[in-house]
Amino acid sequence: MRIPCSPLLTPNAAVHTTEDKEQTKPEGFRDNRRSTLWVTGLIWRSSPCFIVRTAAIKLTLISLWLALVGTGCQPSDPTRTLTTSPDKNAASTKPTARKFYWIQPIKGHPTHQMTQLGFKAGCAKVGYECEIVGTDNFDIAGIIALTEQVIARADAAGIAIWTGNPAFNGCIEKAGKAGIPVIMPHFPVPEGSVPGALGIVSCDPESSASDAALELGKALGGRGAVALTQGSFNTTENMATEAFAKTLKEHFPSIRVLPPVEEGFDATAAIAKASALIQANPDLTGAFSSTGNGPITWASAQKGTGRKLKIVSMNYTRANLDLVKSSEVFGLIAQPLYEQSITAAELLDKAVKGEKIPWWTKLPAPFLTQDKLEPYYALLEKVEADLR
């Protein structure tokens, strides 16, 4: 006899009927219904529908178990790994993140704008997007916060950070732990002193400052006094100023070298400090500033005080070259601002590809006087055209 798969014959339906109006039936009738329930359940468990449904459930559970076991035993897909961790042994492998970040305080400073243009050119050269991130003033806490934001972004393939202060070391280490390559331009530090950093790129500030000191000492005839000022007391400027003073003392012992003064980055305040040094030292014949605004600071101070000095400073911005050309400034150390920034992008590209890079990539920084300006004016024409 064929038993239909009716919902009325399910155990749940039978249980429901035993509870319906149970209190109005005589005791004997209620016992007969319990017997009926038992028989109905037996019939249901013996039916073809019950057997088929039970077998289907067992088959589904076995299939799921086999799928889970099979997934756990399969080897990982190497193409998935490449989306987050590029193959460092293959130069053609491209990471998912395709942007290099340049992080820098005082991002509107003329010297810093030149470095930013160099980094953009370097990124374009190696095929990466570029983003400039920075603060409007010398804000260490602000730069650290911006760096941590960059680290959290999924598109950061590499970072070049303008440091010069050990306060930045913590966020650089955090970037390294996140697997983001970090290059530090401009500020030389000993290898291993900044965890997370892969390398630095700059001139040798001691060597270039020593060469400039020799030129100034000869121009002064080995006499008089020389003032020293710095934008801030950071690693690069400290190295340059110390080397400059040491060379003057060793080779021109008759020249009195004043202790360094922090010039700062506010133009009006810097000029006031330089003017005060001129007025307080009647024998002052020369000045050395280790920051890119130094030529304007000291040229303005000598004009305001009416005292002519031999001024040596940094960087081949157009304003600084013009001051050398007009003889208001004696000479400039041509720190490789544009060149080191291009190189920073190239080093990041090599790091992403897994290529080994040196800790310190040194670039030349020649001393510029009036007869050596033309190549740098030509470079500025190119840079300014890119800016436009």
In terms of domains, do 120 and 52 share one? no
Asked if 76 and 64 touch (Cβ cutoff 8 Å), the reply is no
For residue 90, tell me if it sits in a domain.
no
In terms of domains, do 209 and 172 share one? no
335-376 pLDDT, tens digit per residue, is 999 999 999 999 999 999 999 999 999 999 999 999 999 999
pLDDT for 385 = 83
pLDDT for 270 = 98
Read off the amino acid at residue 123. Answer: C
More confident call, 30 vs 311:
311
Average pLDDT estimate for 7-15: 36
Q: Is the pLDDT of residue 62 over 70?
A: no
For residue 51, tell me if it sits in a domain.
yes
Residue 113: which CATH number?
A: 3.40.50.2300
In terms of domains, do 48 and 141 share one? no
Q: Measured at the alpha carbon of residue 75, what is the angle toward residues 72 and 79, in degrees to the nearest 5? A: 125
C-alpha to C-alpha distances, 191 to 92, 164, 207, 240, 360, nearest whole angstrom? 29, 14, 19, 19, 8
Q: Considering only CA atoms, which of 251, 271, 253, 252 is closest in space to residue 261?
A: 271
pLDDT for 110 = 85
pLDDT for 32 = 41
In terms of domains, do 196 and 300 share one? no
Average pLDDT estimate for 270-286: 98
* Cα–Cα distance, 316 to 367 (Å, whole number): 10
pLDDT band at 302 (very low <50, low <70, confident <90, very high): very high
Number of domains making up the chain: 3
In terms of domains, do 237 and 146 share one? no
C-alpha to C-alpha distances, 268 to 94, 139, 188, 296, 297, nearest whole angstrom? 48, 19, 29, 11, 8
Average pLDDT estimate for 111-123: 94
Q: Which of 319, 334, 349 is the last residue of a domain?
A: 334
For residue 2, tell me if it sits in a domain.
no
Q: What is the mean pLDDT of the chain?
A: 82
For residue 383, tell me if it sits in a domain.
no
* Cα–Cα distance, 204 to 240 (Å, whole number): 9
DSSP-derived secondary structure for 96-165: S--EEEEEESSTTSHHHHHHHHHHHHHHHHHT-EEEEEE-SS--HHHHHHHHHHHHH-TTEEEEEE---S
In terms of domains, do 326 and 343 share one? no
The sheet with strand 199-202 has its strands ordered as 129-134, 99-104, 156-161, 182-185, 199-202, 360-362
Asked if 226 and 257 touch (Cβ cutoff 8 Å), the reply is yes
pLDDT for 109 = 87
* Cα–Cα distance, 216 to 159 (Å, whole number): 38
pLDDT for 387 = 67
pLDDT for 96 = 67
75-109 pLDDT, tens digit per residue, is 333 322 222 233 333 333 444 679 999 999 999 98
In terms of domains, do 185 and 212 share one? no
* Cα–Cα distance, 305 to 359 (Å, whole number): 45
Q: Measured at the alpha carbon of residue 190, what is the angle toward residues 188 and 195, in degrees to the nearest 5? A: 100
pLDDT for 256 = 98
In terms of domains, do 241 and 298 share one? yes
* Cα–Cα distance, 183 to 341 (Å, whole number): 10
In terms of domains, do 276 and 176 share one? no
More confident call, 48 vs 322:
322
Asked if 80 and 299 touch (Cβ cutoff 8 Å), the reply is no
Range of the domain at 34: 7-63
Q: Which residues partner with 220 through β-bridges?
A: none
In terms of domains, do 324 and 251 share one? yes
For residue 300, tell me if it sits in a domain.
yes
Any idea which of 11-25, 138-152, 331-345 has the lowest mean pLDDT? 11-25
In terms of domains, do 130 and 197 share one? yes
For residue 75, tell me if it sits in a domain.
no
Q: Is the pLDDT of residue 8 over 60?
A: no
Determine the 3-state secondary structure of 314 from DSSP. Answer: strand
pLDDT for 176 = 96
Average pLDDT estimate for 15-20: 36
Residue labelled with tokens 């109905």: 40
Average pLDDT estimate for 221-226: 98
Any idea which of 46-55, 77-86, 239-248 has the lowest mean pLDDT? 77-86
In terms of domains, do 35 and 142 share one? no
Q: Which of 45, 63, 81 is the last residue of a domain?
A: 63
pTM: 0.71
pLDDT for 248 = 98
For residue 363, tell me if it sits in a domain.
no
For residue 136, tell me if it sits in a domain.
yes
Determine the 3-state secondary structure of 231 from DSSP. Answer: coil
Q: Is the pLDDT of residue 20 over 70?
A: no
Strand residue runs (E) in the chain: 99-104, 129-134, 156-161, 182-185, 199-202, 225-230, 256-257, 261-262, 284-289, 310-314, 331-333, 360-362, 367-368
